[in-house]
Amino acid sequence: MAETIQFELNGKKVEIPLEKNQTLLWALRINFNLTGTKYGCGLGYCGTCTVLMDDEPVRSCGILMEDVAGKKITTIEGMSVNGKLHPIQQAFVDHDALQCGYCTPGMIMNAYGLLLKNPHPTREQIVDGMEGNLCRCGAHTHIIDAIESASKTMKV
Amino acid sequence: MKDDKYYRDEVPENNPTFEVDRRNFVKLLGGGLFIYFQLGEFLTGVAAEAEQQRSVPKDYNAFIHIAEDGKVTCMIGKIEMGQGIITSFPQMVADELDTPIESIKMVMGDTELCPYDAGTWGSLSTRSLGPVMLAALAEARLVLLEMGAQHLGVAKDEVTVENGVIFVKNKKSKKVSYGQLASGKKIEKFLEVKPKAKDFSEYKIRGKSFNHADGVAKVTGQAMYSGDFRMPGMLYAKILRPPSHGATLISADTSEAEKLDGIAIVRDKDLLAVLHTDFEKAEAALAKIKAEYKFDEMKVDDKTVFKHQLEFPSESRVVKSSGDIETGKKNSDQIFESEFHNSYVAHAPMEPHTALGFMEGDKVVVRASTQTPFGTQDGISRELGIGLDKVRVIAPFLGGGFGGKSAFRQAIEAARLTKLTGKPIMVQWTRQEEFFYDTFRPAAVIKITSGTDKAGQISLWDYHEYFAGARGSDTIYDVPNAKTTSYSSRDVHPFGTGAWRAPGNNTNTYARESQIDRMAVQLGVDPLEFRLKNLKDERMIGVLKAVAELFGYTSAKGPSGRGYGIACGFDAGAYVAHMAEVTVDKTTGKVKVVRVACAQDMGFCINPQGSLIQLEGCIIMGLGYALTEEVKFTGGDIHTNNFGNYQLPVFSWMPEIQTKILDKNEAPQGGGEPGIICMGGVLANAVFDAVGARLFQLPMTPERVLEAIAKVK
């Protein structure tokens, strides 16, 4: 019997065979078909693959599956409940905080992690917290606005 | 002013005409009302630009479908990469057909369902396709009214339409909806269209702001990009890449890779790929291949490239000439000679090139992140030696393009591998592959000799553009003796180059606006005043005055120490003027952009919100090529391979941004590119104004800033 690992994914217990060197990013994209988590650079520079691991934002391209055992993983697909957008998602829509949309899931997950830790950040703290997530279209100022506005409506 | 690059007259002759297969189309959509348009003339210029193998289709090639439920489907060959036509086109359609915007559905970038289109670039969708589409839609509306009148048994001038419902003017209860007209039948209408001038102020939905129509799909992760599709039996392909451009494969030992579970190896001429159901397993197997290469590389690197360019044999052509350069020299009181350098920069969209190929019978279907679905279809047909009718290309959402996804190498790779194996093949480039095969914005040299007379007028402008591209190289100023010469060569670059957001214009506007600033400073005239004094074009003057007001500009001679910069330019039919404020750390050489203001005249603006976002995006993206972005290389070996050594603009850089789109009742123009062209010039001029040191090379890295400051001392 192959070794397996168990963890919690978007609120559900899941189990998959443990593959040596498999990263969380590709497990999500291939094993679970959760393609909202994007590949951007593979080395942790860009943040498009950001998910939450035990409520901490992590670069899923740099997390090995063996380190995911027993953890709680939240992806962009786990953000809206019964079709109702999460306040951060809603704020991104309302503030038009995207263009091509490819960095958007990573931005939202990173922002979620940020707000979980610091529910009412200053603008500077938002900028600091988002610094490592890249956006090529230049939606930055709208993204900061969206996070600031979500911090006012979100209940942690 | 004409944007010559995108309106050439030559159309390649003796090329096969591609007829759109209407039967397929009708089969897919079922019943309802189909309206076809002929957009032939509009397509003439752009097809030549694309160097595609077919000539402009003679057949009807734009479609509107009205279903029984009143839903209107509009099919266009353009793609959505964040620029926002998925939002603005429904505005146009809804307005012109008098039907609710919610009833409009866009089908885009599918070579089987959509009319031919040369590609999504050049900020052309709205300004070029737009007017023809509008005329077509106006005709369609008349046809619908006619059908409605007939249905209601009245004369056609007795009916009108609101919200997709046709009714008798003096008896509102007598009515029929578009959907009812389409009900239970299959009606086909063929219209010939001649675009006509419109009064844009009559529009109801256009001119209003709409947030991204695809916003919800994109914040939930539901929006599908090429790499997000899954098919039974799908395999990831990892392709053996040479260590540099100019390296040729001599031998490859795949024996270690073959030992791994589930790996298949495909070799066909120059293509060697490993296949596996898992991306990372394929990657691991690829790393086990031992390959030998021979090298034949150009002796040039990122330091010597400008010397190399000036020495390289090239073809020159005079882009524009007025008066006489010698006369200009004689009439000049002061002469200014400058040489400007600009580096190779990458497109670096967040989504690397990706494609999924699969077979449908004997047809190769490819879902690809491409700005040119039809060009990609041509390329695959050519490469595989199969007919266009055996290739279908579909472009889902693109994670950014900026010109880089006009190149479609990854789609050819997916098509070849799927044809060879018969299996669905996903080619997902890594970031390293993306940097390696990117068609960079070319490095370039601009030489300018200009002069001013005793009255402070520009009397001479002799402009030489080496390998930047001619777009934006005309002087926009009123100069009696002016000449622009463009130098080009296919072989000057050691790797691929191509169109990068407002191709040519970023380099040209940087050089021109820096030179204008130099002259103003030397004459002791405020740089805004100097520009206004030497401009005749009212629209350029208009944007300059507007930006000065927005910025709160007050007159001063440069360098004023305030760190204020000015630049203006013309691109894609639109006029832009920027002002910026920077601070420069004299000990580190680091430039901090405090604020940027921009005024844009783009004619009538269809979606002000969308346009402002594009404008802001241009400003932010422009910070990168002005300050940090530069591809490092030795010969064909590209050292830049990930974001760790290629710095994009980040959150902490964000300046205060002030934008204004002038309210104009004139034909809509491009909005995806103009706002970026001034960023090099406006920041270089601002740096000069801050520290009195002029930078003749982009990007303005701390080292170069310190070097320039040292020269002044």
B646 neighbors B302 (Cβ within 8 angstroms): no
Residues B464-498 have pLDDT tens digits of: 999 999 999 999 999 999 999 999 998 999 999 99
Range from B53-57, B132-136, B553-557 that averages highest in pLDDT: B553-557
User: What average pLDDT does chain A have?
Assistant: 96
CA distance B606 to B589: 42
More confident residue, A21 or B607: A21
pLDDT for position A100:
96
- Coil, helix or strand at residue B412: helix
More confident residue, B624 or B94: B624
**Is residue B60 very low, low, confident or very high in pLDDT (cuts 50, 70, 90)?**
low
ipTM exceeding the 0.90 mark: yes
pLDDT for position B355:
98
Q: Which of A42, A96, A137 sits opposite B431 (nearest CB)?
A: A42
**Is residue B376 very low, low, confident or very high in pLDDT (cuts 50, 70, 90)?**
very high
With a cut of 90, say whether residue A154 has pLDDT above it.
Answer: no
- Compare all CA atoms of chain A with the CA of B229 and give the residue at the minimum distance: A35
Which of the residue ranges A31-40, B2-11, B497-506, B620-629 would you say has the lowest mean pLDDT?
A: B2-11
User: A89 — contact with chain B (CB < 8 Å)?
Assistant: yes
**Is residue B85 very low, low, confident or very high in pLDDT (cuts 50, 70, 90)?**
confident
CATH architecture of B226-295+353-428: 2-Layer Sandwich (3.30)
Interface test with B, best of A76, A102, A122, A123 (most B CBs within 10 A): A102
Which of the residue ranges A123-137, B24-38, B550-564, B645-659 would you say has the lowest mean pLDDT?
A: B24-38
With a cut of 70, say whether residue A129 has pLDDT above it.
Answer: yes
**Is residue B32 very low, low, confident or very high in pLDDT (cuts 50, 70, 90)?**
confident
**Over residues B637-656, mean pLDDT:** 98
**Over residues A91-119, mean pLDDT:** 97
Which positions 105-134 of A are in contact with B (Cβ < 8 Å)? 105, 108, 126-128, 130-134
More confident residue, B187 or A120: A120
pLDDT for position B265:
98
Tell me if domain B4-215 and domain B305-345+440-712 are identical in fold: yes
Domains, chain A, ordered by start: 4-76 (3.10.20.30), 87-153 (1.10.150.120)
Q: Would you tell me the crossing angle of helices A140-153 and A87-94 to the nearest 10 degrees? A: 140
User: What average pLDDT does chain B have?
Assistant: 90
CATH class of this structure's domain B4-215? alpha beta
- Coil, helix or strand at residue B190: strand
Residues B663-705 have pLDDT tens digits of: 998 888 888 899 999 999 999 999 999 999 999 999 999 999 9
pLDDT for position B49:
39
CB contact under 8 A, A98 and B219: yes
Chain B hits for A32, Cβ within 8 Å = none
**Rg (Cα) of chain A, in Å, rounded?**
15
pLDDT for position B62:
61
pLDDT for position B56:
41
pLDDT for position B17:
30
Chain A hits for B84, Cβ within 8 Å = 99
What DSSP assignment string belongs to B635-646?
TTEE---SGGGS
More confident residue, B606 or B419: B419
What DSSP assignment string belongs to B254-287?
-HHHHTSTT-EEEEETTEEEEEESSHHHHHHHHT
A139 neighbors A98 (Cβ within 8 angstroms): yes
Q: Which of B82, B278, B352 sits opposite A137 (nearest CB)?
A: B82
**Is residue B257 very low, low, confident or very high in pLDDT (cuts 50, 70, 90)?**
very high
What DSSP assignment string belongs to A18-30?
--TT-BHHHIIII
B422 neighbors B362 (Cβ within 8 angstroms): no
CA distance B598 to B411: 38
Residue B495, token pair as written in the block: 């790797």
CA distance B699 to B682: 13
Q: Which of B222, B400, B654 sits opposite A100 (nearest CB)?
A: B400
A25 neighbors A105 (Cβ within 8 angstroms): no
Can you give the residue ranges of every domain in chain B?
4-215, 226-295+353-428, 305-345+440-712
With a cut of 70, say whether residue B55 has pLDDT above it.
Answer: no
With a cut of 60, say whether residue B198 has pLDDT above it.
Answer: no
pLDDT for position B18:
33
H or E element in which residue B73 lies:
strand B72-76
Interface test with A, best of B593, B651, B659, B673 (most A CBs within 10 A): B651
Q: pLDDT over 90 for what percent of chain A?
A: 94
**Over residues B437-456, mean pLDDT:** 98
pLDDT for position A5:
96
Q: pLDDT over 70 for what percent of chain B?
A: 90
pLDDT for position B11:
27
CATH of B305-345+440-712, one of 3.40.50.1100, 3.40.50.300, 3.40.50.620, 3.30.365.10: 3.30.365.10
Chain B hits for A138, Cβ within 8 Å = 616-621, 649
**Over residues B451-468, mean pLDDT:** 98
